[in-house]
Structure 1
Amino acid sequence: MSKETKQNNFKFNPWWIYGVIGAIFFAMWISGQSRWVEPQKTTVSKFYEYLDAGQVDKVIVYNKNSAEVFLKPEALKQKVHEKLPKKDLLNNPNLGPHYTLEIGNDEIFQNKLDEALKAKRITTYDYKTSSDFTDLLISLLPIIILVGFWLFMMRRMSGGGAGGGGGQIFNIGRSRAKLFDEKTDVKVTFKDVAGLEGAKEEIQEIVEFLRNPKKYTDLGGKIPKGALLVGPPGTGKTLLAKAVAGEAQVPFFSLSGSDFVEMFVGVGASRVRDLFKQAKEKSPSIIFIDEIDAVGRARGKSNFSGSNDERENTLNQLLTEMDGFGTNTSVIVLAATNRADVLDKALMRAGRFDRQIYVDLPDIRERKQIFEVHLGPLKKVEGLDTDFLAKQTPGFSGADIANVCNEAALIAARHNKTAVDKQDFLDAVDRIVGGLEKKNKIITPDEKRAIAIHEAGHATVSWMLEHAAPLVKVTIVPRGQSLGAAWYLPEERQIVRPNQMLDEMCATMGGRAAEKVVFDTISTGALSDLEKVTKQARAMVTVYGLNDKLGNITYYDSSGQADYNFSKPYSEETAKTIDEEISSIIESQYQRAIKLLEENKDKLEKLADVLIEKEVIFKDDLENIFGKRPFEKEVFE
């Protein structure tokens, strides 16, 4: 690094001034102490006794009203002075002053000193005028400490402790965005982002503009002001934004939507102004606001809080800044959110966030690519099948897959393995989806058989239905909050038809139906099943318009406006019809499951017995009991 660079990187810290002032006060206090031993007080009469006995070496008189007495070394050994410390704190001989006293009549005191000096009982004495300046400073020291503490707290509250604001005390309105320099900090490129092919293709145009803006402006085109990344949590929105900065090789300002929010009024708007000012100074550049819904929520919706004015002011300033800077500033705003439905319409209009880029959950091909990225640092066995891992993780986001890889490595280390194998990944998926195994949970034999019948019911019904998800394994080992579980490998469909939904609901009700068929009674173990089928039935009736009685109508509101309405979008009579239809759908599938299980009751009980014996059964065990599934087909081909 050159000398010029070192000088430019030098930053003045205002706390150095406070340190220097404190050191000066400390030095002045030290200079006021002749030794590190406090002299003892004595009276004038006792001093005259020491003086007449020839024990005093010298005397220093201050302002004719007080005096310091220095004793001779041999006098310190006498019994009358045994209470005096012989050494100071630095382990040096105590050279004095040993006593201090208040002088009554200074003339008599001086005459006594003159007599002793003539008789050579004293070596010398001197008169001095002491300054009260040091004492004054020492008395003011507590006040100075309080002022310093107050300044420190103000700097902490204003964010000055983080080094922002150039050392100013009141810099609370400064932006808290973290700047990633394109030459050193931004290392992520599109090669590091597995999957997301559609999103990368859409965002490539932004990269091209930041690399060569003149190519577009020469033709009269206007550069997009912003792009909104929308998608479920963990799909890689933030990573994609960093990759844009890495590909474009421009400064990247990153912050969260909550960084604009502060307890002081007007701070959010001030930080927005400062953020865009910094971005313009370093243009071309990118501003990335993560979780923008923290400040970008629709205005006028939260009327009950009474405290949303500050957030709305921040949003108004953001709208102004995005629409205010010219097209030649080369500043692009990227934002990410999981809740695009709650954002203000003014934020979403053309000219602000010109385009919305949907970052969806990865499909099987993209999951394979994500696995290959996260498997890179792991010590894995040779020939690990990433296609198989991708098939075992339907519906997993990129963050979920990263968690699977990490959990698999931890499981392998727990079993003292030298490499991570296929079984470790399967155990990791089970751990993440179902929770930790609870092998020490006390379950009675009757309960264990009830659980086995319940899980065998799920497995049997799903095996018999064409559109139910293929079974992977069934277990009665408690995991998390569940007493048993059945793992399926659902088909990744883009559209779902009514018969497919009904088959899935029937398979879900198979657990309770099995309890009814075998024990002629039901239990509370079907809570999660009932919750799932109720949501599915309600969606069929009120969202997707798949019910014949209600017809082709939906009460779903994608804009989120319905969340703030007091009234329902349908009448009481329609509400009654909806409830009846939901109940009818669920009950019909429950009866369907009962009929299937009654026809195969012997096989159901045989499967439950195998499950009690092994605790975990797989697809092969079902084939041994039921035979080959008649409508078996390869999934994900």
Structure 2
Amino acid sequence: MAKDNNTNPKKPKFSSWWIYGLILVLVIAFQLFGSGNLSNTKKTTTSELQEYLRNGDISKILIITNTRQAKVFLTDEALQKGVHKDVSEKPFLPSSGIVPQYILDYGDLQNFENEIKKIKQENNLDTIVDYDTESNYLGDFLLGILPFILIIGIWIYLMRRMSGGGGGGAGGQIFNIGKSKAKLFDEKTDTRTSFKDVAGLEGAKEEVEEIVDFLRNPDKYTSLGGKIPKGALLVGPPGTGKTLLAKAVAGEAKVPFFSLSGSDFVEMFVGVGASRVRDLFKQAKDKSPAIIFIDEIDAIGRARGKNNFTGSNDERENTLNQLLTEMDGFGTNTNVIVLAATNRADVLDKALMRAGRFDRQIYVDLPDIRERKEIFEVHLRPIKTAETLDLDFLARQTPGFSGADIANVCNEAALIAARKEKKAVTKQDFLDAVDRIVGGLEKKNKIITPGEKKTIAYHEAGHATVSWMLEHASPLVKVTIVPRGQSLGAAWYLPEERLIVRPAQMKDEMCATLGGRAAEKVIFNQISTGALSDLEKVTKQARAMVTVYGLNDKIGNLTYYDSSGQTDYGFSKPYSEDTAQKIDREISILIEDQYKRAIEVLEENKDKLTILAERLLEKEVIFKEDLEKIFGKRPFDKVFDKKGQEKLSNDEDTNDLPLEEETEENK
């Protein structure tokens, strides 16, 4: 017969609440037993007492003056009577001292005494009447200390809650509030992410792979006199995969990996942040070689001395000072490597960025077309896709998308396919997913008057016409007048991925953006508020041309851009009032010139603009093929091969996907 493995169940863990419960039980028992509550004493009334007294059954009446109670003791003869049978039996527990048979509460003492005296005289009784006082020392003591017990208990509870713990854990004790909140990665129980799960990011991945190799084989590098880097800072836009790289390091490195956020150091108590930094590095040194990963380090790494108008001691600065000391100071252990991630490197303290603390700054940029294809391959693994799905097409149609955006596209496509009860996710589902993410949810039931709809149609047709006629404008993919999100209509473009931009290219883009308002002016001879987002976009572009990139002849080769972020905290502009007026004037001239240019283009193609707008009113959504039927083949279009390389001949169509949109907000 097989043995039962559950014959020895685990004993319950000891809890301090058991002690509190035991003390409470003892106090209650003492109260009950000490006061004689378990004896046969019964309560009686004044009328019954007077009757017992007339019958000669009472030997003694003890009046307790401070509690307005009277204790009644019967004679031996009275205890034999049937009327006193309930109080004549022996008590449940033996009691020290004589226990009364009856007890009653009297009202006025003088009246009570007079009644007893009168009955004694009338019946010639020798009943003893005595007086006494009683004190409940335990009750008085408990009432005295109860407020202090409540205050101390509430204080302990609040301190445990603020320290992030509930019961008896390491973080729950009041004196452990300065302990580190870092999570130690366990490769056996935690979900393991490897470098295979990180698509693209070849340069950044190569850097962090080398850091892992440093910890695995330190002799390979130290034998030549080299030193292991003390830290690496991952910098890049949101969603590019900085935290994912850190997870891959945790999965690949065979060393302890401590992970926490910069905000975990922040606490309301003075000195807690610095204490947690010390405790974190102490744990890491005890388990060295080890890796510490601090996500969103800008929470504590912001440059010191800024925005501190009060002059008070800043807890965040104390935490940063302790972090600087631990990373490179006296007694620093070189076997601990610090990884950190932020998308706001410009606000970090210079002392934190120097070599010796963060020796390497790894820039994690937005993926290019080849890397986007690899990211699609990773995120499409768990998704059932159609066999004809072209990943090169999807990668080519998603410029400017981060890894998180691509993951969102894949998930939305799967949800859309499931909503349509499909067996696999098709190309159209991905197109709909991108439309949903870029433009927002369709609102076909939005109430729009015929006049407004006509204005929107001509507005969008103006964007399409001008962009079609200009060489450097982004190629149009789709135009719609179906409301999406906050926009009443939208035109999707496929922008070219450029590393540098020339003034002619920027001007063409501005002209195409102003094509919507220009179309309203050409057709209706009046303008509307629907061009708000267009005006916002061109104003930013024009200001960047004049003040950032130095592309204006009047202002010259000057830039007022500060990459260090110092100007964010300044109270004055880096140029004079006269220069400010020149800048405003040049921005206005630049925008108005492109507006006039857009009007000229539309005046020359007014008949085609009208045909396009009428077709848009009829179909609500038109594609590149519709424009080719009206305007003919666009001579400026570039065609790409399967690898994303530009082809010389225009023999392949690349239409169908929205990635950059011009929206008209309903103001």
1:171 and 2:176 aligned: yes
Correspondence 1:542 to 2:547: yes
Distance 1:163 1:464, change over 3 A: farther
Give yes or no for contact 2:228–2:334 (8 Å, CA) kept in 1.
no
Aligned to 1:343: 348
Deviations 1:472-529 (A, max 9, x none): 1000111112111000111111111111111111111111111111111111111111
Retained in 2: the 8 A contact 1:159–1:171? no
Q: Is the 8 A contact 1:29 1:134 kept in 2?
A: no
How far, CA to CA, are the matches of 1:166 and 1:475 in structure 2?
56
Contact 1:293/1:339 (CA < 8 Å) preserved in 2? yes
Match of 2:606 among 601, 605, 629: 601
Establish whether residue 480 from structure 1 lines up as the match of residue 485 from structure 2: yes
Cα distance per residue 1:221-265 (max 9 Å; x no partner):
211111110000011101101211221122221111121112222
2:273 to 252, 268, 287: 268
Amino acid at match of 1:29: I
CA distance in 1, matches of 2:316, 2:231: 21
Mapping 1:530-609, distance limit 5 Å: 530-609=535-614
In 1, Cα distance between the equivalents of 2:343 and 2:370?
A: 23
Q: Which residue of 2 aligns with 1:46?
A: 48
CA–CA distance in structure 1, aligned partners of residues 567 and 12 of structure 2? 54
Tell me if 1:401 matches 2:406: yes
Separation (CA, whole Å) in 1 of partners of 2:339 and 2:13: 34
Corresponding residue number in structure 2 for 1:512: 517
1:567 is displaced (CA, Å) by 2.4
Structure 2: how far apart are the matches of 1:42 and 1:595?
A: 111
CA contact (8 A) 1:283 1:329 kept: no
1:495-506 mapped onto 2 (5 Å cutoff): 495-506=500-511
Q: Report the counterpart of residue 307 of structure 2 in structure 1.
A: 302
Provide, for residues 171-227 of structure 1, a one-character-per-residue CA deviation record: whole Å limited to 9, x for no partner: 222112222124432611111111111100122221111111232223322111111
* Aligned partner of 1:369 among 371, 374, 379: 374
Deviations 1:306-332 (A, max 9, x none): 567211111111111111265754111
How far does the alpha carbon of each residue in 1:265-307 deviate from its partner, in whole angstroms, 9 at most, with x for none? 2221111111111111111111111111111111112133656
More displaced, 593-602 or 242-251? 242-251
Which stretch shows the higher mean deviation, 511-520 or 163-172?
163-172
1:16-43 CA-to-partner distances (Å, cap 9, x unmatched) read 2134312441465368669999997423
In the TM superposition, what is the alpha-carbon distance from 1:161 to its structure 2 partner? 2.7
Letter of the 1:443 counterpart: I
Match of 2:661 in 1: none
Structure 2: any 5+ residue segments left out of the alignment? 1-9, 100-134, 646-667
User: Which structure 2 residues correspond to residues 145-544 of structure 1 after superposition, within 5 A?
Assistant: 145-161=150-166, 165=170, 168-185=173-190, 187-304=192-309, 306=311, 309-324=314-329, 329-544=334-549
Q: Which amino acid aligns with 1:461?
A: V
CA distance in 2, matches of 1:223, 1:512: 59
**Cα deviations by residue, 1:154-179 (Å, 9 ceiling, x for unpaired):** 21122343765465322222112222
Change (3 A) 1:31 1:618: farther
| 1:381, distance to aligned residue in structure 2 (A) | 2.8
Relative to structure 2, which stretch is displaced further, 126-135 or 142-151?
A: 126-135
Give the direction of change, closer, same or farther, for the CA distance of 1:487–1:437 in structure 2 (3 Å limit): same
Task: Indicate how the Cα distance of structure 1 residues 124 and 322 shifts in structure 2: closer, same or farther if over 3 A, else same.
Answer: same
- TM-superposed CA distance for 1:137, in Å, is 8.0
Q: Decide whether aligned partners of structure 1 residues 164 and 290 sit closer, same or farther in structure 2, where only a CA change above 3 A counts.
A: farther
Q: In the aligned structure 2, how far is the partner of 1:197 from the partner of 1:585?
A: 41
Contact 2:273 2:319 (C-alpha < 8 Å) held by counterparts: yes
C-alpha distance after superposition, 1:316-364 (max 9, x if no partner):
1111111126575411111111111111111111101111000001111
Q: Could you give the per-residue CA deviations for residues 508-552 of structure 1, whole angstroms, max 9, x where no partner exists?
A: 111111111111111111111111111111111111122222232
The alignment status of 1:115 with 2:117, answered yes or no, reads no
8 Å CA contact retained: 1:384, 1:421? yes
Name the counterpart of 2:632: 627
Q: Which residue identity lines up with residue 202 of structure 2 in the other structure?
A: E
Distance in 2, Cα, partners of 1:143 & 1:124: 43
Cα separation, partners in 2 of 1:485 and 1:31, compared to 1, 3 Å: same
User: What CA distance in whole angstroms lies between the structure 2 residues aligned with 1:278 and 1:450?
Assistant: 66
Distance 1:175 1:220 in 2: 34
Assess, with a 3 A threshold, how the Cα gap between structure 1 residues 181 and 125 changes in structure 2: closer, same or farther.
closer
Matched residues in 2 for 1:486 and 1:150: separation? 61
Distance 1:39 1:488, change over 3 A: farther
- The root-mean-square deviation of aligned C-alpha atoms, in Å, is 3.2
CA distance in 2, matches of 1:463, 1:264: 62
More displaced, 545-554 or 481-490?
545-554
Q: Structure 1 residues 132, 327: closer, same or farther in 2, change over 3 A?
A: closer
Counterparts of 2:583 and 2:637 in 1: how far apart (Å)? 35
Give the letter for the 1:124 counterpart: E
- Between 1 and 2, higher relative CO (CA 8 Å, sep ≥ 6) is seen in 2
Q: Percent identity?
A: 74
C-alpha offsets along residues 416-462 of structure 1, whole Å, 9 cap, x if unaligned?
A: 33332222221111111111112222111111111000000100111
Deviates more, 1:129-138 or 1:319-328: 129-138
Equivalent pair of 1:52/1:116 in contact (CA under 8 Å): no
SS in 2 for 1:609: helix
User: Which shows bigger deviation, 134-143 or 420-429?
Assistant: 134-143
| Structure 2 counterpart of 1:613, from 602, 611, 618 | 618
CA gap 1:285/1:451 in 2 versus in 1, 3 angstroms? same
User: Match of 1:472, SS?
Assistant: strand
Instruction: Give unmatched runs, 5+ long, in structure 1.
Output: 1-8, 67-100
Amino acid at match of 2:16: I
Aligned length: 584
Partner SS, residue 324 of structure 1: coil
Is contact 2:326–2:332 with CA below 8 Å preserved after alignment?
Answer: no
State the shift of 1:143 in Å. 5.4
Matched, 1:18 2:17: yes
Partner letter of residue 19 of structure 2? V
8 Å Cα contact 1:182/1:250 also seen in 2:
no
CA contact (8 A) 2:259 2:292 kept: yes
Distance 1:531 1:324 in 2: 49
SS at match of 1:161: coil
SS of structure 2 residue aligned to 1:585:
helix
Q: Distance in 2 between matches of 1:523 and 1:270?
A: 60
Name the structure 1 match of 2:653: none
Looking at structure 2, the residues matched to 582 and 38 of structure 1 have their Cα atoms a distance apart, in angstroms, of 102
Q: TM-score w.r.t. structure 1 length?
A: 0.84
2: distance between equivalents of 1:442 and 1:173? Answer: 59
Q: Pick closer, same or farther for the CA change 1:166–1:341 going to 2, 3 Å.
A: closer
**2-side partners of 1:589 and 1:135: how far apart?**
91
Helix, strand or coil for the counterpart of 1:483?
strand
- Taking structure 1 as reference, are residues 135 and 340 closer, same or farther at Cα in structure 2, changes over 3 Å only? same
User: C-alpha separation between the residues in 1 aligned to 2:532 and 2:81?
Assistant: 110
Deviation at 1:151, TM superposition (A): 1.4
CA contact (8 A) 1:302 1:308 kept: no
Q: How does 1:133-152 map to 2 (within 5 A)?
A: 135=139, 139=143, 144-152=149-157
The residue type paired with residue 361 of structure 2 is Q
Amino acid at match of 1:582: I
The answer to whether the Cα contact below 8 Å between 1:177 and 1:255 also exists between their aligned partners in 2 is: yes
